Chain A
Amino acid sequence: MELISYDEYKKMGEKEIIKKILSSKNKIIIINKKLSPDEEIKLIEQAMNYTTGKEFKGIEIASITKQKKSSFGALTKIISLFLKKEEGITLIGNANVIKKIKQSKEGAILKI
């Protein structure tokens, strides 16, 4: 596993992240932030550029958010829009090794 900060991820870009995953079959990258849907889809698009269907089948990806419980509900959500970035992580792995990253309400399970 390789932990990458979100800032480092932004500097590298989606192409370099996919190349990193390609460089090692067993590579699992953990980014210390939940990627936005736009970032996720760009990653998927980039993965498809390199997917051959055999040597590299693509990626497994899961973005997991830690939901903060608050008695102020909607107010907390409004405040969080203007303050700190959403907590969470993003897992990205080589689909040749990881069969599935199964999402659940509690987190994620890696099936290898």
Chain B
Amino acid sequence: MVISKIKSFFRNKLLRIFRKKKHIVLGFYGPPNAGKSTLANRISKDFAGEEFTTSSEIPHETREILIKEKVLIKKGNKSLTINLVDTPGLATKIDFEDFVKKGLKEKEAKKRAREATKGVIEAIKWLDNVDAVVVVLDATKDPLDQVNITLIGNLESRNIPFIIAANKIDLKKASAHRIREVFPDYEVIGISAKTGEGMNYFYEKLIEILSR
């Protein structure tokens, strides 16, 4: 385990030195319906003037990788050019009946389920391509979930820098504190991608982490 961690550390460091990459590839990862697309769109709109992905109340709205390239993020006298990568929500199971409950017809729900499973596989494979990640968690839900634990564990073992966005703090049941308790070793920032609450501090911290 120690040897594989050392190998991974040097591989990532060397790749970053020798790879002539102009833009940082920033992935948005997390469970379905946490607000990844809403957050990616907010950043895109704030700095590039337009949205690039869609969001919905129905889980697994994003079922393929979507990229917005060359977004110049500025905060104070610091700036970075990044490629925003919106990913499908990670899940260990997908039930088409969940989509039927949200109003989709059975045929449409089954199609969505098939696309969602492919989306999860694609999101997992894309971990090989990102330079940094925003882990988007729904602050109204229990964060102690295997998907969240596995995701964060993978980011750590691959030495991918990340920040945890505790999203939906505009809602009454939200608690960024609960997420900090479960993941005390990491930067957790409470935001509302929908209303913009907390986004100034989020941008400061994001640039800080991406500049390291």
Contacts and interface: CB of A to CB of B under 8 A. Distances in A.
Interface of A: 36-38, 40-41, 44-45, 47-49, 51-54, 57-63, 81-82, 85, 95, 101-104
Given A44-B124, A48-B118, A95-B93, 17 more contacts: A36-B1, A44-B120, A44-B147, A48-B120, A49-B117, A52-B114, A53-B109, A54-B110, A54-B113, A57-B95, A58-B92, A58-B93, A59-B92, A60-B93, A60-B146, A103-B145, A103-B149
B110 A82 contact: no
B156 A95 contact: no
B94 A101 contact: no
A47 B2 contact: no
B209 interface: no
B96 interface: yes
A35 to B, nearest CB: 9
B90 A44 contact: yes
A88 to B, nearest CB: 12
- B interface, by DSSP: helix, strand, loop or mixed? helix
A53 B94 contact: yes
B117 A51 contact: yes
Contacts of A104: 144
8 contacts: A41-B124, A44-B90, A51-B117, A53-B96, A53-B113, A57-B95, A60-B146, A63-B149
Given A51-B117, A61-B92, A37 B110 contact: no
B91 interface: yes
B157 interface: yes
Contacts of A44: 90, 92, 120, 124, 147, 150
A57 B144 contact: no
Contact of B154 (A41, A54, A57, A60): A41
Interface in B110-130: 110, 113-114, 116-118, 120-121, 124-125, 127
Nearest to A105: B144
Contacts of A61: 92, 146, 150
Q: Which 10 A-B pairs have the closest CB atoms?
A: A37-B153, A53-B113, A58-B93, A95-B93, A53-B96, A40-B150, A37-B154, A48-B117, A51-B117, A57-B93
